[in-house]
Amino acid sequence: MDFYQLNLAVFVATNGYLLYRQYNSNSNKKTKEDIDLSLAGSADLETAEKRPDGGAARRFQFNFFLPYALAVAADWLQGPHIYAIYKYEKNLPEKMVAALYAAGFVSGGSAPPLLVDWLIDLGGNERVSVMYCGLYMITCLTMLSDSLLVLFFGRLTGGVSTTLLFSVFEAWMISTYHEQGLHTSGLELSTVFGNMTTLSCMVAIASGVFGDVLVTYSGTRTWPFMASCLCCVGAAFLISKIWNENFGKRSSEQTSLQDLKSGLSAILGDAKIMSLGITSCVFEGTMYLFIFFWSAALASARSQVGSTDDLPFGLIFSSFMCAMMTGSAIFTLQTSTKTVQSTTDMLMTVTLVGCVGAYFPSMAHLKSELIEDGIRGRVYSILRFPLNVFVVVAHSLDVEGDAHRNHVFLACASLLLVAFLVSRRYLVQ
């Protein structure tokens, strides 16, 4: 067992222990609820009988997580190999690779603030989620070509589809949660967000290993992209079969321009939402830059010690995802009350230490508490705009060499400190 395999094994064992603790914690909580219910009066029992039961909550999570798992699998399968296929198989220079990445963020940041809500109003969250699957299939299929025009087109569709993945799926879940009154069943949204991150990490771990297997046996990095296409087909089929359509609470008389104005007003008029936007821009922008640079940074470090062996990018990616899953488990175990204040404390901590796994459920819970359902989709889309600008500007300055990467990492660390100070100033009660 080499270093990378041993590292992954340690992470898997750690996560197994943390998941066991989560299971015990949930079991104890359920036992306490049953005891409280047995001691309740007849009026309380009558009220409890009218609430959605645990079966409804389980069905809701199953119906959401099954297609969601396939949707994120499509993203995770090819994620570790994008830079490598551009750089090492298509032999594109670093500047061109950066331009391709930037194209995705340009398309993801320019259209969706006006487009996402219009699409949801026209077709609903379910149909737009299916649209994500179709766009992502196109993105993956373009990787079979060596034409720069086709590759740039693929990054443009990839940018839009990624924005849909991180907005429409969550919007469908939150709207359905409220429509079914599941808050009375004992299922908290914060729990669903934590489960989303944990599931995403588990899928990413499996996808990283499976993607490496495909590359090893095929001799090319295009196979993970074809596997992503199959995941998109499966996700689209399940969404169309088991999801109920919802459109959120948008007024039929509201135009896309009014959507944009109301979303901007909500952000600019609330210092807490504004601080969430700044924090998400910096943290997620740093994460995306790390995703772009990590494979080249490790390859450079490996060459400096005289090694010429290929790096197992998928295995390393799985280790990253294991670390992310550890952070998600820590969030679930350490913030049992799930108040805005406790989640804010967790968000500030992860901003300082760069704990990605705890960041996503923390940010998702705060946004669910601070942003109204009726404007959620457009606010989420608008908040991604500065993130995309941040990454595009960073990529436009990209040059070859270790020195530039080191400067980017230092600049990102400084910006994370700024995000921490902003959160501390405006989110802390």
> Whole-angstrom distance between the N-terminal and C-terminal Cα of the chain?
50
Among 100, 77, 103, 105, smallest CA distance to 288 is for: 105
Question: pLDDT above 70 covers what percent of the chain?
Answer: 82
For residues 310 and 176, is the Cβ–Cβ distance under 8 A?
Answer: no
| pLDDT tens digits, 289-306 | 888 888 888 888 888 877
The pair of three-digit structure tokens given for residue 399, joined into one six-digit string: 């040059």
Check residue 397 and report its DSSP letter.
T
Which pLDDT does position 374 carry in this prediction?
64
* pLDDT tier at 192, thresholds 50, 70, 90: confident
Domain-embedded: residue 24? no
Domain-embedded: residue 261? yes
Which pLDDT does position 348 carry in this prediction?
85
Instruction: Report how far residue 12's alpha carbon sits from residue 381's, in angstroms, rounded to the nearest whole number.
Output: 34
For residues 315 and 209, is the Cβ–Cβ distance under 8 A?
Answer: yes
Domain-embedded: residue 327? yes
Q: Is 401 left (phi over 0), alpha (psi -120 to 50) or beta?
A: left
Which pLDDT does position 160 carry in this prediction?
85
Lowest model confidence (mean pLDDT) among 175-184, 260-269, 315-324: 260-269
Q: What residues have CB less than 8 Å from 188, skipping those under 6 apart? A: 338
Check residue 220 and report its DSSP letter.
S
Which pLDDT does position 40 carry in this prediction?
54
Domain-embedded: residue 284? yes
Q: What's the rounded mean pLDDT across residues 4-29? A: 80
Q: What's the rounded mean pLDDT across residues 381-394? A: 79
Among 308, 317, 281, smallest CA distance to 77 is for: 317
Q: Judge whether residue 220 has pLDDT over 60.
A: yes
Question: pLDDT above 90 covers what percent of the chain?
Answer: 13
Question: How many CB atoms are located within 10 Å of the residue 202 CB?
Answer: 18
**pLDDT, the chain, mean:** 80
Q: Is 181 left (phi over 0), alpha (psi -120 to 50) or beta?
A: left
Domain-embedded: residue 59? no
Q: Judge whether residue 393 has pLDDT over 50.
A: yes
* pLDDT tier at 101, thresholds 50, 70, 90: confident
Q: What's the rounded mean pLDDT across residues 263-279? A: 83
Domain-embedded: residue 28? no
Which pLDDT does position 253 carry in this prediction?
44
Give the domain extent around 178: 65-246+255-302+311-426
Across the chain, which distance is largest between two alpha carbons, in Å? 75
| Residue of 125 and 27 predicted with greater confidence | 125
Count of structural domains within the chain: 1
Which range has the top average pLDDT, 152-161, 162-171, 316-325?
A: 152-161
The domain that holds 351 is classified in CATH as 1.20.1250.20
Burial class (CB in 10 A: 0-12, 13-18, 19+), 320: buried
| Residue of 259 and 271 predicted with greater confidence | 271
Task: Check: pTM over 0.75? Answer yes or no.
Answer: no
Which pLDDT does position 69 carry in this prediction?
94
Domain-embedded: residue 274? yes
Domain-embedded: residue 9? no
